[in-house]
Amino acid sequence: MAGFYEIETKEEIPRVVAQVRDAGRIPARVLVEVGEIIDNVRARGDEALLEYTRAFDGVELDPGSIEVDEEDREAAWGSLEEDAAGALDMAAGRIALFARESLGSGWQREVAPGVSIGQVRVPLESAGLYVPGGRFAYPSTVLMTGIPAREAGVRSILFCVPPGPDGEVNGVTLAATWLVGECRVFRIGGAQAVAAMAIGTESVPACGILAGPGNAYVTAAKRLLAEEVKIDLEAGPSEVAVYVDETTNVAYAAADVLAQLEHDSMACAVLVSESAEVLESASAVEAGMTDGLGSGAETAGLSLVRCASRGLSLEFLNVLAPEHLELMVGDAEDLVSEIRSAGCLFVGEYAAVALGDYVAGPSHVLPTGGSAARLSGLSAADFTRIMNVVRYTAEGFEQDAPAARVLAGLEGLSRHAMSLDIRMRG
């Protein structure tokens, strides 16, 4: 049963936001448990990984079988049906295009005669990418994390993927790694996999960045390890907000809501409108679709929010800062500039979130829990760092050194002044 909320004033917005979303707070007990897992992996390495794989995945791995053989990756790709291979290849191409275009290049400018300043992008040496398992396979996450890392120029890319009951990585997920190119794949999951990629074990090398979505335990591990390694973001349960009006095809809106609720029992979906009638109509259609899908459909996370004005609707959406935001109203294009906070914005009734999940191009690893107000989705830039570059000729030094000499004196740093004086004297 969907929850129904009404907003008549701006002051009510924070209360409704808190009610419609489980903010994704990680329970204290999970942080404690994950801390113990990290400590165990740090102390015992591969032995701990094998122990946790046995306990959590029900799989007994041999000490030498944590890593997937290169031949198995190639065989997985070769075994795909033609339509599956074509779809993955199409998605990979689009993701690569977006990654290249969004990465940007460095810059350099001569700001005075003989004085040049600029920046260059430098790829990180290594990236550890987490791909969830569980109820579903996620070959799309392989592409959405691995291809941006590749396009950024990361030399060492590795994936951790939970093994299935047979001890193997899902075949389609494994096949997707072949499209990333040179990389390594490890059949381990959960917080222990994140710890291994951050700390390093006998089999799994430590990485410069951890990226990819996961459950509360994976997210907790990233949080606890953030002081030791760069992380992308804390990507929690899926979220979608859909802004609808009298022009909306409510069947499209209902289908998109169900698509995101399918991910997780903690997923959050919100329909927003100034019209209670439109919301009720969309909810009724969604309920009918749920009946047709059977018991596997998750609908508990749906909320209906009626706002007294368009201004309140837009303010609510910006405060909510959802992972995915669909503008499915008649003048959607005119509202793009009004949206400040969303992980990814989908404009128009044909911009289904499912397209963004798979083939549109931007990574589907996006901020959740309201963090889209301050964080961006994963991009190729996350796999790089900016290095500033300064160039001086003798002419440029002669021009700038006197001012720098004065500032060194003001700060009382005599050796800074000396390093300038020795050049000024020639």
Q: In the annotation, is 324 catalytic?
A: yes
Contact 88, 79 (CB under 8 A): no
Q: How far apart are CA 421 and CA 413, in angstroms?
A: 13
Which residue from 326, 299, 310 is spatially nearest to 273, judged by alpha carbons?
310
Q: How far apart are CA 141 and CA 176, in angstroms?
A: 9
C-alpha 26 chain-centroid distance: 17
Catalytic residue among 324, 326, 349, 364: 324
End-to-end CA distance of the chain: 81
Q: How far apart are CA 365 and CA 218, in angstroms?
A: 14
Catalytic residue among 234, 239, 298, 323: 323
> Which residues, 6+ apart, have CB-to-CB distance to 331 below 8 Å?
none
Could you tell me the strand order of the sheet in which 209-211 lies? Answer: 184-186, 156-160, 126-130, 209-211, 230-231
* Pairing state between β 3-7 and 302-307: parallel
C-alpha 82 chain-centroid distance: 29
C-alpha angle 103/159/128, rounded to 5°? 55
CA dihedral 352, 356, 360, 362 (to 10 degrees): 150
Residues classed as catalytic? 323-324
